[in-house]
Amino acid sequence: MSNDNTLYLDLKSGRVTIQLLPEKAPGHVARIKELVQEGFYNGLKFHRVIPGFMAQTGCPQGTGTGGSGKKLKAEFNDVPHKRGTVSMARAMDPNSGDSQFFICFDDAPHLDGQYTAWGQVTDGMEHVDAIKKGDARANGSVNDPDTIVKATLAGDTV
């Protein structure tokens, strides 16, 4: 596992290790790395969390309406959306991904080829499972949501 393509998400219950997939989504991985190095994700909320489906984060407003201001061209690939897959959230426009992403709690094959998968949790999935869940009737909206304490790249840590 290359340190250059290892992302750590420190959550309240512990560290999640994500193997980035630059060979599958080079533009998305490059942008995620830029945002992590800028500290963009530190403190951001898991604003949409649907039990049995996924946990979404990456909105600076904490509402699901914002981003970093740089839209990414879709890089749909053959990575299956399964437990631990990390993929870019987007609006109806396939090329509207920005900074928001989600981590799948369970297999979600209906997302395959429709969202850009750019990473896979390799360790710490129990910490993803521990993220505070939202109300499924309110599209996963979370009251007093958990946050990303800190996001770092393995190659940048001491």
Identify the pLDDT of residue 2: 53
Two tokens at 125? 């999935």
Residue-wise DSSP of 109-125: GGGTTTS-EEEEEEE-H
Smallest CA-to-CA distance from 148 within 26, 52, 45, 31 is with 45
Identify the pLDDT of residue 92: 94
Triad 35, 96, 81: Cα angle to 5° = 80
Q: Mean pLDDT, 10 residues at a time, over the chain (158 residues)?
A: 84 98 98 97 98 97 95 98 98 96 98 98 98 93 97 82
Identify the pLDDT of residue 156: 77
Domain coordinates in residue numbering, the chain: 3-153
Q: Which CATH number fits domain 3-153: 2.60.40.1660, 2.40.100.10, 2.60.40.10, 3.10.20.30?
A: 2.40.100.10
